[in-house]
Each structure stands twice: as structure tokens, then as C-alpha cells.
Amino acid sequence: MKSNISFYEKRIDNKNKELKEIDNKCNFFSILRLVIAVLAIITTYFLYKNKSYKFILMEIIAFIIAFTFIAYIHSKTVEYKKMLKININVNEDALSRVNGKWKEFLDKGEEYLNVEHPFINDLDIFGKGSLFQWINTTTTLFGRKSLKEKLSIIKLPKKEEIYANQKMLKELGEKINFRQDIESLGRVYNKEKGDIDTFLKWAKERNDSILNIPTLIISIIMPILTVGSIILFYPLNKISTVMPSLFIILNIIIIKFLVKDRSNTISVMYDLRYKIKTYFRIIKRINEEDFQNEDLNMLKGRLTNKNKKSAAEALRLLDRLEGKVSDTGNMFYLIMNFLFLWDIHLLREFEKWRRENGGNIEEWFFVLGEIEALSSIANLNFDNKDWSYPSINDELKLSAINIGHPFLGDKMITNDLLMEKNKNIILITGSNMSGKSTFLRTIGINMILTYLGAPACAKEFSCPILNIYTCMRIGDNLEENISSFYAEILRVKNLIEATKREEKVFFLLDEIFKGTNSIDRHTGAEILINQLCEKDAMGFVSTHDLELCDLEEKNQKVLNYHFEEYYVNNEIKFDYKLKRGKSNTRNAVYLMRMAGIDI
């Protein structure tokens, strides 16, 4: 990870140097445009004073061409400067991911927290200091939705799917420029308004009247009659003003009654013009990328319409049509509309577009979202070269060498672990703050990473594919009038019901039944563990109930492990290393004294 810190710092430094050069170019072009304008005024005045009238028009045209050309180059340079600034921000965020400052990111995905979900709240999948906050680089609604669904493990993946995802993520992980390009392109208009669901609805609708033969004939004949009558009136002066006026009034009536879909189409396109431009640019960038992985190429191959035209080409055409929509409010467009029925021609183009592409829009946006979500997860591949890709066990066996919690960075302490089929429940004891809860989350989050196809934060890691159930962060629910103990019972009930449905489950139970008295806690925990031993289940139970450790002697599937503290100059220390056997230390009294409570 330290090597990546210097990698991103170097990229930021190089791009800042380039930004200074682009700034100088922008200033140069600004001055050049001013010089051209001033020279045009001076030259025109000089020619006028010398009565060289025949050269004035030529001179003005020449200066207009020069000014327009320089203005075009200037606008492109300004646009590149904007993209460069965004790309610098993207690299600064990437640097924050590897130097531990990612917890300052504003987007935490807190709206996805769900107390009913089997594990996302307990394992910090969403919310402050979460996996989502750390890796999310999506910029579109589709990417965000796809990443949310992947992190939530809505459907447990098969072994083959995990290995296929590993291959995709390995390739995407190395494509740092591609990943940063699609993130940068997505940030350009990321905060623009527009409801994409309205657009998807519009894409499925049809307006048959706009494409029928009578409408086509009217859209051709009426402009000819209108313009012809105007020419006959002026300059030929062959007819009165009645005929041109009549045809213009007829055109206005036609626009009013024939173009019923105008306001809906134009409203949708105007509101979404920047988002569509963004999607077009991202999809175009995806189409341009050469992938070696077959699954990535299959995703990319879905970016076509029914006529095998590429999504990028189709969206570029839509982007051009939307450019015309932006002009519908100015006076020139209104005049041309009354003369040539431009609304009809514009809506015909939109109707043809949605008939050809409307059925593929959701598919395109799905692919866009998938690529964005996979690119977010691939950050882990690129930024953590010392992590390893896990293997999948077909039986209830879990093993880890130097496994750690990925969120802890330089503070991370690693451990080794082996859980075999006949030793599938581990009791963890230890004093307060010794590392029990963190270790449970360490195993849980690395299993989630495994199911995503990402590398695990371990030298080696191997696990089965199981439905994960946790019971760790339990609190009172005042709205539902539920105490923390009863909330814990409900979580345990969900676990038991899953085993009764013959689900293969992995459980993480932190300080089980801590909300009740010691006798009931011990009895309930012992019954629960014995029940779980009889099912296709494996997992961890942390507890302060040292008597519960006697289960190891009664039940051959239970193993005891513990964490412990030590003291240096009467100061408490923790090594956070997992050890075999039950804990023999306590520190509650010491911690109370340390907090200032006289005991």
C-alpha cells in the first residue's frame, strides 16, 4: 500500500504540472481572441477611412473565421482543463483510500443501512467507516445501485461465479487509467438535475401519429407553401400578405394540435441533456477499451441495439438531438418552427430514435452500472498488492494465514486460524477491549470480499460459501418498543429459522445474550450452540461467560480461543493475537479505575 501512496502522489504531481501548462494555454488563447477582436475593429476602421469598401466584407469574414477557430480551440482547451482538474481530484481520493483518510469521504451509503439485513450493519458494509465509503467510485445511479446490490450479497454466488469475478477484477484492477477515466467522466455533470426514470418511461412510449404518412406529407408540403408564398409576396410582390399570413397561422395550428407529444419529449430531454451526455461519454469510453477477459467482453458486447449499432453511436445521436432541444426557446427557432415545422421534424427524429433504441436503454444502463461497480471493487485489487485471492472450500472448512481487518490500515494486527468440519464452532473469550469483536468482523468482512471476487486481507484465505448471519450491534428500538435483549433474540431467531430451512450458514455472535442475567445467558447460549452444532453451520461466538468454555469438553465440535491483555509499568496493553484455550484474565476493574471511577 505504501508503494501506491507514492504512485498516486506522482500522478497528482504530474497532472498539476500539466494543469499549469494548460492554464498558460488558456490565458494565451484568451489574449489572442482579444487581439483578433481589436485588430478587426482597427482594420475595419482603417479600410473605411481609406474608402476601401470592397475589402471590408472580406476582412470581416476573415477575422470572424480566425476568431471562431481560436474560440473553438480555446473552448476545447478549457474543457480539457476541467477534465484534468476532475482527474486530479480522482487521484487525490485514490490517495486518501491508501493513506487512511477515506473515512472523510462524504458519501457513506447510509441510506442502505438496514437492521433487518443479516449482516450489513454489523460488518460495516454501509455507513460511516464502511466498505462502501472506502471503495465507492460510482458516479451514476446505475453504478451505485449495482454496487449496493453486490455488497449486500442479495444472492449467494456460486463457486464458479466467484472465480469468474476474480478474473474480471484482476484485469480491471490493473486498468487504472480506464477506471479513473470513467470516474472522471461521470463527475463532470454529476450534480445535474433530471429524473432518469422519466427518461426510461419515455423510451418505452410510442407516438404513432408523428410517423404516419399524412404527418410526413404535411411536414413537407406546408413549409414549401409557406416559403413559396413569402417569396411571391416579397420580393416578387405577386400576392398580398394574406396568403403568407394564412400559411403561418396554419403552421401554428398544426404545431398546436398535431405535435401533442412535444412538451413531454422536450421537457424530458432538456432536463436530462447533461446526464445523457455523461452516459454517452462513459459508454463510449467502455467501448474503446480492449479487454482480455471474456466476461468483460461479453458485458461490453451488450452495448448494442437491435440493429447491432453501438450504444455509444446511438447515444451520440441522441446527444445531438438534445442539442437542438436546447435551442427551442430562442427567437430564431420559433421563427423557423413557424416556417418549416421544425417541431414535427425534431419529434420524428426522437420517435425514430426511441423505436430503434428504447428497448435497449435499460440494458445499456445496467452494463454501465456493472462496469462502475466492478471498477469500484477493483480498487482493492490495485491498492493492496499484498492481499491474496481466496480459494473456495466445498465443505465446512475455513483457514486463514495472517488475516486482518482491512479498515485498520497500519494499526492492523493479523492472525492465523483453522476451522475444520468437525470443529466448526469457536468460542472466543477475553477481557474488554482485547479484540474479540474486531476479530469476528475481520472474518466476516473477508468472507464478503471473497464472495465479491475481491482479494482477502490475508496472506492466504479459504472459506466455504455460506449465508452470513450476525448478531453484534444490538440496541433498543424505541419506535418499535423493542429492548436490546429482545432485538438480540429476534436476530438469533432469524439464524435458527435459516438453519431450519436447511440453509448453510456462517454466524458471528458477539457477547451472546448479554442483555440478561448470567444464569439465563449461560443456559441460552449453551442450548443455542448445541443446536447449531447439529446443523450445516459454522461460526464464532464471543462471550464473557467463562463457564461456557466447558462446552469444549462436552461437545467435540466446539473449540476455545481467547485474546488477552498484559501490563507494562502498571499500564494495560493488548497484543490482539488469537490464542488457543479460554481466557484467564479480567480487566474490568482496571478499566473503571482508568476512567476515573474510584473502586
Confidence label for 481 from pLDDT (cuts 50, 70 and 90): very low
Lowest mean pLDDT segment, chosen from 186-190, 229-233, 428-432, 472-476: 472-476
Q: What cell numbers appear for 139 in the block?
A: 458516479
Length of the chain (residues): 599
SS3 content of the chain, % helix, strand, coil (to 5): 60, 10, 30
Grid cell listed for 559: 473449540
Question: CA-to-CA distance for 337 and 317, rounded, in angstroms?
Answer: 21
Rounded mean pLDDT of 452-458? 97
- Residue 590 is predicted with a pLDDT of 53
The answer to whether residue 389 scores a pLDDT higher than 60 is yes
Q: With b meaning 16 or more CB within 10 Å and e meaning fewer, what string describes 484-520?
A: ebebbbbbbeebbebbeeebbbbbbbbbbbbbeeeee
| CA 450 – CA 576 distance, rounded (Å) | 23
C-alpha cell at 346: 425534431
Which helix (DSSP H) or strand (DSSP E) does residue 559 occupy? strand 558-563
Helix (H) or strand (E) holding 460: strand 460-464
Between residues 485 and 253, which one has the greater pLDDT? 253
pLDDT in tens, 10-21: 999 999 999 999
What pLDDT is recorded for position 326?
65
* Mean pLDDT along residues 545-562: 90
**Contact partners, residue 67, CB within 8 Å, separation at least 6:** 33, 36, 37, 40
162, 465 Cβ separation under 8 angstroms: yes
Q: What phi, psi does 146 have (nearest 5°)?
A: -65, -45
**Comparing C-alpha atoms, which of 512, 544, 540, 525 is closest to residue 433?**
544
d(CA 308, CA 305): 5
Q: Give pLDDT, residue 261.
A: 64
| Nearest alpha-carbon partner for 179 in 215, 143, 230, 226 | 143
Strand-by-strand arrangement of the 460-464 sheet = 391-393, 460-464, 398-403, 415-419
- What integer pLDDT is reported at residue 253 of this predicted model? 86
Given pLDDT bands bounded at 50, 70 and 90, which one contains residue 209? confident
pLDDT of residue 242: 81
Residue 467 pairs in a beta bridge with 505
Which residues face 417 on adjacent strands? Answer: 400
Q: What is the pLDDT of residue 231?
A: 83
HSE-CB at 505 with a 13 A cutoff on CA atoms is 24
Greatest mean pLDDT among 255-264, 265-274, 460-469, 535-544: 460-469
| Range with lowest mean pLDDT among 47-61, 234-248, 266-280, 307-321 | 234-248
The radius of gyration of the chain's CA atoms, rounded to the nearest angstrom, is 34
For residue 213, pLDDT beyond 50: yes
How far, rounded to the nearest angstrom, does the alpha carbon of residue 491 sit from its chain's CA centroid?
A: 30
Query: Distance (Å, rounded) from C-alpha 9 to C-alpha 45?
Result: 54
DSSP-derived secondary structure for 262-322: HHHHHHHHHHTHHHHHHHHHHHHHHHHPPP-SHHHHHHHHT-B-TTS-BHHHHHHHHHHHH
Any idea of the CA torsion for 254, 258, 264, 267, to the nearest 10 degrees? -20
Q: Which pLDDT score is estimated for 478?
A: 44
Report the C-alpha dihedral over residues 121, 124, 128, 134, rounded to 10 degrees.
Answer: -140
Question: For the residues of 123-166, what is the DSSP string, one character each?
Answer: TTSSSTT-HHHHH----SHHHHHHHHHHHTTSSPPPHHHHHHHH
Question: Any bridge partners for residue 399, and if so which?
Answer: 418, 462
Give the tens place of pLDDT for each residue, 281-306.
Answer: 999 999 999 999 999 999 999 999 88
Q: Is the pLDDT of residue 2 over 70?
A: no
Return d(Cα 566, Cα 231) in angstroms, integer: 100
